[in-house]
Structures are given as C-alpha cells and as structure tokens.
Amino acid sequence: MSQQVCLVGRCKFVRFEEHADYNTMKRIGYILTEEKLSLDVCKTAILKAARHKHKRISVAKILSRLDEKAALLREIILEEKYKPAEYKVCHIIDHPSQKERLLHKPKFFPDQCIHHVIILLLHKELLKRFDPYVIASIPKRGAHYGHRALRKWLERDRTGTKYCLKCDIKKCYDNIRPPVVVAAVARFVKDKKFLRLIAKVAYSLPSLPLGNYTSGWFENLVLCPLDRALRANKYVVRYLRYVDDFIALGPNKRKLRQLIDYISGILAKLGLRLKENWQVFKVDERGIDIIGYRFYRNFILLRKRNLLSLMRCIRAYKKHPTAKLAKSLLSRIGMCKWFNSHNFWKKYCLDLNFRKMKRRAYT
C-alpha cells in the first residue's frame, strides 16, 4: 500500500492507494485443458451448484451419481458439446425496494454446474482485476465488508470524505449485452476454447440474466474500467461500489460534480447510462444512504424502508407467533448490531423471548 499526498487548492489530504495492481497484465491461456479441468474441479462445481438445493429431486439424483456426472460434465466442456437450455422465467418482487424483477433460472445440470466451473477456473484472475471496495457477488466482500470500510473512512478521514458523489447505473443488468461481456473476458484471456464457452453462456440471453451465478462476476468485470478510472482520479479519495450503486468521496464539491460527464462517457462505451438522480452533498449535513444503512460521522442508522420492514415483522410475530414468522424475525434482528439501535431495542425488542423464538423456529 503506497501513500500519495495530493493538493487541492489549499486543502491537503492523504490518499491511500489500496487497489490491486491491474495495469499491463498479460493475457492468460491454457485454461480449458485436461489437467486444469480435472474430475475434482467438476465435482466441486456440482457440489457448489447444489448448495441449499439438496432436497430437490433433480439435484438429489445428480448427487447420488456424483462421479459419473462429474465425468460427463468434464466431457461436455472439453469436447464443446454444451448448448444452453431454455431458462425458467419467474416474476419476483424484491421486498426491500418493492420492485418487480424478472428472474431467469437455468437448468441445474449441466448449465448451473458449468457456470460454477467457469468461475472456479477464473476467479483468481478476476479477483486480481477487481477493485478492493467493489462489494457483492464476491466471496468475503458482502454488505458488512463495505459497512466496516465506510465507517472507518468517515471516522478517520474527515477531510478526504467531506463531500460525497452518489450515483446509480440505470437498469445495469438489462443493458449489459453479450458482446461487451465476451470482450471484457477477452481482454485478459486468450484461450479460444474457453472464450467460446463464455460466449455460449453470455449469448444465452440478449442481456445479463438475473439468476446466473456468473452474472454478478461478469457485471463486476464489465464495470472494471469505471472502477479504475474513479480510483485513479486525484479528486476521489475514497470509492465504493455495491452492484450498480457507487459513491465517490473527496474534499472538493465542484470537482466531484465535474466527474459526471466523465463517468457518463465511460458508461456510454459499455452501453450503459447513469441515472438522472445523482447527487453531490456534504457528508456532515446528511448521511450516506448505501448497502441498507445511513452512514453519519458518529453514528449509523438503518435505512427507513428496512426499519419499517423490521418493525412490521416484530408486530406480526407478537400478534401471531408462528414458526415462519420466528424464522423471518431471527434473520432480520441481526441487523440491530450493525446500527445504533439502543432506543429501538428498548422500545421494540426488550419483551421478546429469543430462546422461545428459536425453539419455535427450529423444532
């Protein structure tokens, strides 16, 4: 980690270059070889794809003949026999945002297993290229990873986090096209057989499918030029992106505002657009609303819609304490340790019997 001192007007601040070294990397080849695509890799991919699905009859049949199916999966990939099956389409409501989303469910074997094989063979190279504060869809980089980082920045670096530029990409998954995905992988992969496999997955739909295991990884890879450009900009001291929402923190409001055209130009090359509701604001006057929380200098609050959802769940459980509501409440109540919840806990949670709730939920 190198330290760089920047001057903006009369304001002096220290900027820490914590990002990965993703400049001038060589393209890699020989990915889909008989040695690298071993039976163990195929077994691991099947087991990863089957996680939380063991009770499904179709998945249980595959797992009962794991060695045989791993050998078949290896043969399908090496001999290029794979043809993506049709997706099962589901309309779902995303409860926190109340948005209707179109979910595409791929067939378990071989589609989902092949998606896991792709990431198993590629994930180390992908992690080298991702910014360290790009979170979601990456192991050990969930919402709480970003929560800890943002809290630390606001507490320790007042000058570098004086102003915040908050942006959102418009319909990110729907607007990422297959050629963009293949081109992003081809920048650092030269194995033609592997690129043909990537193309089959990418061209299975006209846009990035919400439901594929590969989609989150591909989305982060496609947005790497945006992450690098903002990380390298001398007026951006701190940068964090959560899926298609991102924030850039710096000491100069005017310079952050001038970045909008620059960001729009980068996204236009990728076939994407910035939402019109971007904002630049002073962090001391209002909190940063991201990853489900509102971050202030000295305290953290839960986002309003998440708080209301938690309150409704508590009231519903107190009226009708069923096993389903007990499980729902236990999964939500853990949020209280991530924000300043003393008054909320006194008002709503002191009379809850958690031992009885756990017995009701899991027995």
pLDDT per residue as tens digits for the range 343-358: 999 999 999 999 999 9
pLDDT, tens digit (0-9, with 9 covering 90-100), for 128-152: 999 999 998 899 999 999 999 999 9
User: 362: pLDDT confidence band, cut at 50, 70 and 90?
Assistant: confident
pLDDT, tens digit (0-9, with 9 covering 90-100), for 146-161: 999 999 999 999 999 9
Q: Give percent helix, percent strand, percent coil of the chain, each to the nearest 5.
A: 50, 20, 35
pLDDT value of residue 97: 66
Helices (H), 157-236: 172-175, 178-186, 192-202, 213-222, 224-232
pLDDT, tens digit (0-9, with 9 covering 90-100), for 193-235: 999 999 999 999 999 999 899 999 999 999 999 999 999 999 9
**Is the pLDDT reported for residue 363 higher than 80?**
no
pLDDT, tens digit (0-9, with 9 covering 90-100), for 10-51: 333 333 334 344 444 688 999 999 999 999 999 999 999 999
User: 91: pLDDT confidence band, cut at 50, 70 and 90?
Assistant: confident
pLDDT value of residue 110: 94
The SS3 assignment for 76 reads helix
Please indicate, yes or no, whether the overall pTM of this predicted structure exceeds 0.85.
yes
**Is the pLDDT reported for residue 105 higher than 80?**
yes
Q: What is the mean pLDDT of residues 71-90?
A: 94
- In the chain, the percentage of residues whose pLDDT exceeds 70 is 92
pLDDT value of residue 259: 95
Alpha carbons within 13 A on the beta-carbon side of 246: 27
**Is the pLDDT reported for residue 269 higher than 70?**
yes
Mean pLDDT of the chain: 90
Alpha carbons within 13 A on the beta-carbon side of 11: 15
- Nearest C-alpha neighbor of 204 from the set 218, 188, 191, 187: 218
pLDDT value of residue 94: 74
**Is the pLDDT reported for residue 308 higher than 50?**
yes
Instruction: Give the neighbor-by-neighbor strand order of the sheet with 163-168.
Output: 134-135, 238-242, 245-250, 163-168, 279-282
d(CA 45, CA 216): 17
pLDDT value of residue 11: 38
